[in-house]
Amino acid sequence: MLNIIGAIGALIVSLLIGVAAIPMLRRLKFGQEIREEGPAWHAAKSGTPTMGGIIFIISIAVMLAVSVIIGTVHEFPLGNLIDLLLVFLLSLAFGVIGFIDDYIKVVKKRNLGLTAAQKFSLQFLVALIFAALVAVGSDTGTVISLPFTSLDIDLGWFYIPFVIFVMLATVNSVNLTDGLDGLATSITMVVAIFYLIMSDILSNQAMALFSAVLIGALLGFLFYNWKPAKVFMGDTGSLFLGGAVCGLAIMLRQPITLLIVGFVYVIETLSVIMQVTSYKLTGKRIFKMSPIHHHFEMCGWSEVKIVCVFTAVTAALCILMLYFK
């Protein structure tokens, strides 16, 4: 019941915040500058308000607080509240990095935002702190589960570098996925549904609540982010979402499942790596444009078709994971 309250509440709050936030972002001239490297027809999106991730971030914060209060008053089991706080603070920390990046791009008019070294250093620091806290101060400890088996492995001190790698890879992959109206929002919502079900299977009340609230907030945001998008989430939102799915996977001892349910995230990153490597070594491109969602655009697919197909693939992989669990 508490998960349903959290999800519906987050949906409503997200819709209400969007009504006020989008005009405010427009008045502040927080418009997205479209980079020349992208498809030419994306130029029409220039000026669309960005940094819209604050819509679902605030919604999640509000409903997590409300849900915890309701749970405390009515004695609903919430699991480990420390884990819930850790995952939210992790997501928020990555969101703050994204906000700084967006602020530099949009307000300071430096189109590349933070340098790669600055962004990586901040992300590494956040990942290191989180990994250490989980390893030392959480019930999760240094154990991970192997998908499609009943085996658990204690990684010991290797756990911290492993988690840091998973987090940095995932967060930046989600960031790359946010290139079409509704793409990152839709895919992450499906991934969150997967982790909600996994939380129920594993009887983890805290992660179930976080997943439910995340789903509701993203559904509300999708109302504004679906093509033609009235607002973009920006790095503020995409880095927050990357942290959120990482936090859920890690706290549930399921980080390896990100390779499967987050297949779209993975292939988006691999397409960029393959494109850059091929061009540097041979002078030829593998894809018409990378990340791969732009390749399909160049092949004539509409944005809506790409979003629907990529989301359907994600849903199918999530169902596959649950079936063989």
**The pLDDT of residue 29:** 76
Nearest C-alpha neighbor of 216 from the set 37, 1, 15, 26: 15
Residue for token pair 């999800």? 7
**The pLDDT of residue 43:** 61
34: CB partners within 8 A, 6+ apart:
42, 43, 45, 46
How large is the greatest C-alpha to C-alpha distance in the chain, in angstroms?
64
Give CA–CA dist 284/279, Å, rounded.
5
**The pLDDT of residue 7:** 96
Q: Alpha carbon of 202 to those of 60, 198, 319: distances in Å? A: 22, 6, 17
**The pLDDT of residue 107:** 77
At residue 36's C-alpha, the angle toward residues 33 and 38, to 5°, is 95
Q: Which pair of structure tokens corresponds to residue 80?
A: 């480990």
98: CB partners within 8 A, 6+ apart:
53, 175, 234, 235, 236, 237, 238, 239, 240
Residue for token pair 């976080």? 210
> What's the pTM?
0.94
In order along its 325 residues, the chain shows pLDDT tens digits of 889 999 999 999 999 999 999 999 888 877 666 565 566 556 667 778 989 999 999 999 999 999 999 887 777 777 788 999 999 999 999 999 999 999 988 877 666 678 889 999 999 999 999 999 999 988 889 999 999 888 999 999 999 999 999 999 999 999 999 989 999 999 999 999 999 999 999 999 999 999 999 999 999 999 999 999 999 999 999 999 999 999 999 999 999 999 999 999 999 999 999 999 999 989 889 999 989 999 999 999 999 999 999 999 999 999 999 988 7
**The pLDDT of residue 155:** 94
Residues of the domain holding 136: 2-323
List the alpha helices (DSSP H) in the chain: 2-27, 53-74, 81-106, 116-137, 159-177, 183-201, 205-225, 234-251, 258-261, 263-282, 292-298, 303-323
Environment class of residue 182 by beta-carbon count within 10 Å: exposed (0-12), middle (13-18) or buried (19+)?
Answer: buried
Q: Which pair of structure tokens corresponds to residue 53?
A: 């991730």
- Residue 323 CB neighbour total at 10 angstroms: 7
By DSSP bridging, strand 152-154 and strand 143-145 are antiparallel
Domains identified in the chain, total number: 1
**The pLDDT of residue 239:** 98
- Please provide the DSSP assignment of 42-65 as one string: GGGGTT-B--THHHHHHHHHHHHH
Give CA–CA dist 55/217, Å, rounded.
8
Total residues found in the chain within this entry: 325
Beta-bridge mates of residue 154: 143
